[in-house]
């Protein structure tokens, strides 16, 4: 195979431009990587910056009805998702939470073994995680809850849940659980 004179010239031009192309792309790529690393666009970064990375791990509690409650929060996909697995008595829950950059909110979605769907938003308020949650039953009826989760000590967290009706929180919680960290 032989190259024509014009083909050789094209190869020489490409070879001469290659270092220039690397010099042009290099700084742009470096700036992009640095910007992405500095952005708090992952739920893992947000929880760590807010001091809430204590949440990750396995937890266990006992309800007022003497039922076992277990929850496990795992940071996945390089810190972009929290997977949530929980059981309370006969109910099993699977969900995720993630940061939504366009709304600047932490989104929560979950389902249970009865077909209920839970959707909501997490907020960090002071030293508490606050979860506003809508529970939709298979028949379409929706109930609104608000849950406050706080760290008691390194191995204890407290979860307090209230119902919300017409934008008003119930005076008394419908459930308070004291979870202990499991090994």
CATH number, position 100:
2.40.128.20
The DSSP code for 59 is E
Structure tokens, 33? 């990587």
Q: What number is the average pLDDT over the span 14-22?
A: 42
Q: How confident is the model at residue 40 (pLDDT cuts 50, 70, 90)?
A: low
Same-domain pairing of 95 and 167: yes
Q: How confident is the model at residue 58 (pLDDT cuts 50, 70, 90)?
A: very high
What is the Cα–Cα distance from 137 to 56, expressed in whole angstroms? 28
* R_g of the chain computed on alpha carbons: 25
Q: How many residues does the chain have?
A: 183
Structure tokens, 54? 């204590």
Same-domain pairing of 79 and 109: yes
Same-domain pairing of 77 and 13: no
Q: What number is the average pLDDT over the span 92-119?
A: 96
What is the separation, in whole angstroms, between the first and last Cα of the chain? 68
Same-domain pairing of 73 and 7: no
Number of domains in the chain: 2
Same-domain pairing of 101 and 166: yes
Yes or no: say if 134 and 142 are a contact pair by the CB < 8 Å rule: yes
The pLDDT score that the predictor gives to residue 39 is 55
Same-domain pairing of 24 and 98: no
Q: How confident is the model at residue 62 (pLDDT cuts 50, 70, 90)?
A: very high
Same-domain pairing of 30 and 120: no
Domain housing 61 = 43-182
Same-domain pairing of 155 and 73: yes
What is the Cα–Cα distance from 57 to 62, expressed in whole angstroms? 17
Same-domain pairing of 93 and 123: yes
Pairing of strands 81-88, 68-76: antiparallel
pLDDT at 23 exceeding the cut of 70: no
Same-domain pairing of 51 and 28: no
Structure tokens, 156? 């204890």
Torsion of CA 161, 167, 170, 173, to 10 degrees: 10
């Amino acid at each position: 195979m032989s190259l024509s004179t014009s083909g050789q010239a094209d190869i020489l031009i490409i070879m001469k431009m290659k270092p220039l192309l690397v010099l042009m792309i290099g700084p742009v790529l470096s700036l992009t990587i640095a910007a992405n690393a500095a952005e708090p666009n992952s739920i893992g970064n947000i929880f760590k910056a807010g001091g809430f990375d204590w949440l990750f791990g396995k937890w266990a509690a006992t309800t007022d009805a003497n039922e076992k409650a277990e929850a496990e929060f795992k940071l996945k996909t390089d810190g972009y998702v929290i997977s949530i697995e929980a059981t309370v008595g006969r109910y099993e829950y699977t969900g995720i939470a993630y940061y939504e950059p366009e709304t600047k909110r932490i989104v929560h979605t979950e389902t249970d073994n009865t077909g209920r769907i839970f959707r909501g938003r997490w907020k960090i308020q002071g030293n508490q995680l606050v979860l506003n949650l809508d529970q939709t039953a298979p028949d379409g009826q929706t109930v609104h809850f608000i849950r406050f989760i706080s760290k008691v000590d390194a191995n204890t967290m407290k979860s307090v849940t209230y119902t919300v009706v017409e934008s008003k929180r119930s005076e008394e919680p419908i459930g308070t659980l004291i979870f202990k960290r499991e090994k």
